Amino acid sequence: MQYGLDSAIVGGFQAMPGFLKTFGYVDHKIKIGYGIDPTFQQLIASLLTAGAFFSSLVAGFFAKYFGRKHALWLACLMNCLGITVQIATTNKGVIYLGRVLLGASNGFFVSFSNMYTSEISPAHLRGVMVSFMMLWVNIGSIIGAVANFYAAKVLDKSAYIIPLGCLYIVPVILAIGLVFVPESPRWLLYRGREQEGRVALGILRGSSIEQEYVDIEWAEMVRGRDEEIKLKRGVSWLEIYRGKWFSPNLRRTILCYASMACHAGSGTWFAISYGTYFLQIAGVDNPFGYTIMNVCFGLLGVMISMHLTRKVFGNRSLMVTTCILCAFSMMIMGIGGAVKTKQNQRAVGKALVASNAIFIFFYNTGVGTISYPIGTEVVSSRLRAHTLGSAISLGYFLAWLVGFCSPYFINPKKLNWGVNYGWIWTASNFIAAIFFYFFLPETKGRSLEEIDELFENRVSVKGFASYKTNIAAAAIRDVRGALDNKSTGTETEKGLVRGYVERIETGERVKRDDMA
């Protein structure tokens, strides 16, 4: 939610008279009477992603010594400091410092919230649970866009100070809420704190399923950890790059990096950072109102995505399909630039608003939402912090690159491409669709330990969905043996576990839902 709030609020500042009076210049040629220096425009957008880039890059090293909760607490602290700095000054240099601090906190928020959610989720709900990130990003974006809509009418410094003050809400609530949340069981397990990990898993599952099934899940985690220890020694960040393309670690790293890079490649960072400003210079009336509408389309897309990934499509097919649809949405923008004249400017403006809304809807239906479950699933449990952290860092670097370069393309004082800028994103979306079609395997419904086994066995993209893994059955056999030796287990409980493992041993592909 904080991520969405900040992106929406700061993205709208560039079209606010109250903000431009303080940090811009008078320009009567522009509709609102003020312009913004391209360098300042670049830096307030790009320094946020630069800060996130560096904090994501060190996430793996931080996770070696501290848990997911400690990382999120640190993010809350940096966030509040960054907000305070930006509210308290009108000095551009100090504003830049505040943007870096805010970006660094966002890098930790995104990296560790995704790690935590993927590690604690039951396999059959992991895609939906990780997708909740994008749901809250969009809720934050809507609140930020609404705050900007009303604040834009204020013609002094309060126009941007009031929306910035809203950014305190999430980190304060989150910092308090984390006190009541257990640490990631998988992180505790890999740190050698097995008893604490088992207790944490029990707290997270509560009374939602029978105790025996919690034992099965824990036994699978332990077996997965033991198998990785047999294959490798230690945890080094260099391991994520070792080997050839089809070697397990490098293959997983490339897929994780691709899933994070596709955000920038889709063009969404252009839409987020410069959407309102872009609509304004394109001559669209009421750009703030249309921005709220577009964010609502994005929220609708996330909600549909959560249903589709749970009930209809696999992660791979949804990713490929929405990359293609995003490409066509950006193509509409490019065509608008090619046919624009003074006579049809109003019609082209309407087409631009429509293409922007269509793009945001399809982006949130697939690419923006499903890439996080994919990125967290395909990485090794042992190397998750290093791989995912560096992948998110790459995504932020590309986002910074887009934020830094976009003004050169769209600003009237530079290349002044305008809506022709859409052709670049059309091509990049098609390239992403081709890559994911040929190289991304289907991981939906698999436990993280099963996915580890699939990659270690170098299973092909086509074989992922039907491949029979051994780790789940082995974990259940462990629990079955322990249960048979227990005097407290009822015959019904023992029969449930026996039946479950027998179905797996005979080759039946059992849905994780059946455990409940």
The structure tokens listed for 236 are 């080094």
Structural contact between residues 474 and 223, judged by C-beta atoms closer than 8 angstroms: yes
Q: What is the structure's pLDDT at 351? A: 75
Structural contact between residues 194 and 183, judged by C-beta atoms closer than 8 angstroms: no
Is 27 a member of any domain? yes
Domain residue limits at 307: 2-181+240-439
pLDDT by 10-residue block (mean), the chain, 516 residues: 81 72 70 70 76 86 87 94 89 88 90 88 82 84 81 76 88 94 90 90 86 82 79 64 75 91 84 63 65 80 85 86 91 75 67 81 88 86 82 84 75 68 88 93 84 86 82 70 57 53 48 45
Structural contact between residues 272 and 282, judged by C-beta atoms closer than 8 angstroms: no
The structure tokens listed for 86 are 């930006």
End-to-end CA distance of the chain: 31
How many other C-beta atoms are found inside a 10 Å radius of the C-beta of residue 45? 29
Pair (58, 167) in one structural domain: yes
Q: What is the rounded distance in angstroms from the CA atom of residue 485 to the CA atom of residue 476?
A: 14
Residue ending a domain, among 439, 458, 492, is: 439
Is 448 a member of any domain? no
How many other C-beta atoms are found inside a 10 Å radius of the C-beta of residue 37? 15
Concatenate the DSSP letters of all residues of 105-130 into one string.
HHHHHHHHHHHHHHHHS-GGGHHHHH
Pair (325, 411) in one structural domain: yes
Pair (81, 195) in one structural domain: no
Q: What is the structure's pLDDT at 52? A: 84
Biggest CA-to-CA distance, the chain: 85
pLDDT tens for each residue of 458-506: 888 888 878 888 776 777 677 666 656 655 555 555 555 555 555 444 4
Q: Please, which residues have CB within 8 angstroms of residue 113's CB and are 6 or more apart in sequence?
A: 72, 133
Is 55 a member of any domain? yes
Q: What is the structure's pLDDT at 511? A: 46
CATH of the domain at 285: 1.20.1250.20
Q: What is the rounded distance in angstroms from the CA atom of residue 153 to the CA atom of residue 19?
A: 11
Pair (282, 366) in one structural domain: yes
Q: What is the structure's pLDDT at 484? A: 63
Structural contact between residues 136 and 1, judged by C-beta atoms closer than 8 angstroms: yes
Concatenate the DSSP letters of all residues of 432-491 into one string.
HHHHHHHHPPP-TT--HHHHHHHHHTT--TTTTTT---SHHHHHHHHHHHHHHT-SSS-H
Q: What is the structure's pLDDT at 390? A: 87
The total domain count for the chain is 2
Pair (213, 310) in one structural domain: no
Residue ending a domain, among 439, 461, 480, is: 439
Structural contact between residues 359 and 308, judged by C-beta atoms closer than 8 angstroms: no
Q: What is the rounded distance in angstroms from the CA atom of residue 220 to the CA atom of residue 476?
A: 8
Is 465 a member of any domain? no
Q: Please, which residues have CB within 8 angstroms of residue 463's CB and are 6 or more apart in sequence?
A: none
Q: What is the structure's pLDDT at 433? A: 94
Pair (476, 407) in one structural domain: no
3-state helix, strand, coil in the chain (%, to 5): 75, 0, 25
Counting every residue written for the chain, the total comes to 516
Pair (268, 205) in one structural domain: no
Pair (330, 228) in one structural domain: no
Q: What is the structure's pLDDT at 226? A: 81
Structural contact between residues 147 and 140, judged by C-beta atoms closer than 8 angstroms: no
Is 459 a member of any domain? no
Is 134 a member of any domain? yes
Is 444 a member of any domain? no
Buried-exposed string 114-132: b where 16+ CB fall within 10 A, e elsewhere: bbbbbbbbbbbebbbebbb
Residue 34 main-chain phi, psi, to 5 deg: -135, 145
Pair (369, 509) in one structural domain: no
Is 450 a member of any domain? no
Q: Which own/partner pairs from 494-502 qualify as long-range (CB within 8 Å, at least 24 positions apart)?
A: 496/210, 496/212, 497/212, 497/216, 500/216, 500/476, 501/473, 501/476, 501/477
Residue 25 main-chain phi, psi, to 5 deg: -145, 160
Structural contact between residues 145 and 108, judged by C-beta atoms closer than 8 angstroms: no
Structural contact between residues 275 and 289, judged by C-beta atoms closer than 8 angstroms: no
Q: What is the structure's pLDDT at 273? A: 61
Q: What is the rounded distance in angstroms from the CA atom of residue 311 to the CA atom of residue 335?
A: 36
Residue ending a domain, among 439, 462, 489, is: 439
pTM of the complete model? 0.72
Pair (87, 219) in one structural domain: no
Pair (200, 294) in one structural domain: no
Q: 384-410 vs 367-377: helix axis angle to the nearest 10?
A: 150
For 487, counting Cβ atoms within 10 Å of its Cβ (0-12 exposed, 13-18 middle, 19+ buried), the class is exposed
H/E stretch holding 34 reads: strand 34-35
The structure tokens listed for 469 are 């893994």
Structural contact between residues 134 and 364, judged by C-beta atoms closer than 8 angstroms: yes
Structure letter (DSSP) for residue 31: T
Name the nearest CA neighbour of 493 among 219, 218, 212, 216: 212
For 316, counting Cβ atoms within 10 Å of its Cβ (0-12 exposed, 13-18 middle, 19+ buried), the class is buried
pLDDT tens for each residue of 249-269: 888 899 999 999 988 888 887
Pair (256, 386) in one structural domain: yes
